[in-house]
Chain A
Amino acid sequence: DTAVSQTPKYLVTQMGNDKSIKCEQNLGHDTMYWYKQDSKKFLKIMFSYNNKELIINETVPNRFSPKSPDKAHLNLHINSLELGDSAVYFCASSQDSGPGELFFGEGSRLTVL
Chain B
Amino acid sequence: DAGVTQSPTHLIKTRGQQVTLRCSPKSGHDTVSWYQQALGQGPQFIFQYYEEEERQRGNFPDRFSGHQFPNYSSELNVNALLLGDSALYLCASSPNRGASYNEQFFGPGTRLTVL
Co-complex (A, B):
no
